[in-house]
Amino acid sequence: MNDAPVKDADYSVPALARGLAVLGLFNAQTRSLSMQEVAERLNVSTSALYRILFTLTDTGYLNKRNTQYELGARVISDGFSYLASRDIVDVAMPHLNELRDRTSLSCHLSVRENTESLYVYRAFAAQRLSVNIPVGTRIACHCTAIGRMLLTGLDQAELAALYQHIRLDDYPPPAPRTQLELEEMVEADRARGWVLHRSDYSTAIAMAIKDHRGTVTAAINLSGPDAVMDPDGATEKFEALLRECSTKISADLGYVEDR
């Protein structure tokens, strides 16, 4: 009986590894490749690739158009189904916790339900002067930075339909008091890409989160007392850190930014 230890390499399946390597060659910049191009990039012969490419095409992971191969519907549909199934809180949590640790400021994650912003996660900064909005809190979208970023996911017709029966003149400034003001505000927020909002001696900066379809699916904020947020350069620093965080969360949801 041979009792020699089994090495990890003994469990590998070279054909599977090569098939995955083929799929990994395709991306936003490289949408199609010939068999010869695949062989050159993997440094193998075309004869060694033939059965692998045939199998990937036969199972729907690749499409063949004349002499060119491209990713098939199987990869795209399975990948999008996986991305869509990931809970936004699970995806965002580690990034928001890291942002809180880097800034010592509270961070929140919110989704839109009709005209309200629903807070679904909070990375709480344990210091005396902290902004603390409990999970489950609902606030009118047009009154907060995070809510306003959620509204940027709507086009003008969708925004008008959502607010056609909503009174806006009962809310204090700087909230918009008419639908026209609301539409102009959301358009400016969308173009800017972030919102800064001041209230009750605190300041919040918010940005949107996008999913694999490019849809605004959530928003995050970074909030703290004015004494921390107001010094020269502070806003710019926190905005950059928040943008980095939102980019990472969106990327984890499958969003690919247009270059």
Q: Could you tell me the CATH number of the domain that includes residue 95?
A: 3.30.450.40
Quick check: pTM over 0.75?
no
| 110 shares a domain with 63 | no
Do residues 67 and 228 lie in contact, with contact meaning Cβ atoms separated by under 8 Å? no
- pLDDT category at 35 given cuts 50, 70, 90 is very high
Q: Do 147 and 200 fall within a single domain?
A: yes
Q: What percent of the chain has pLDDT over 70?
A: 88
**Predicted pLDDT at 256:** 82
In whole angstroms, what is the distance from residue 234 CA to residue 104 CA? 13
Is the same domain home to 16 and 105?
A: no
Per-residue pLDDT tens for 103-162?
989 999 999 989 999 998 999 887 656 677 888 888 999 999 999 999 999 999 999 999
Q: How far apart are the first and last CA of the chain?
A: 60
Determine the structural domain holding residue 77 and report its residue range. Answer: 8-82
CA gap 236, 205 in Å, rounded: 10
| Whether residue 121 sits in one domain with residue 58 | no
On whether residue 2 sits in a domain, the answer given is: no
Written as one letter, the residue type at 82 is: Y
Q: Is the domain of 227 the same as that of 131?
A: yes
| Closest to 241 in 3D by CA, of 98, 143, 45, 117 | 98
Asked which of 50, 82, 114 is the last residue of a domain, the reply is: 82
228 plus 141 within the same structural domain: yes
Token readout for 53 is: 């490419």
Closest Cα partner for 217 from 94, 95, 118? 118
CB under 8 Å to 48, separation ≥6 — which residues?
A: 18, 39
Give the integer Cα–Cα distance in Å for 115 and 100. Answer: 27
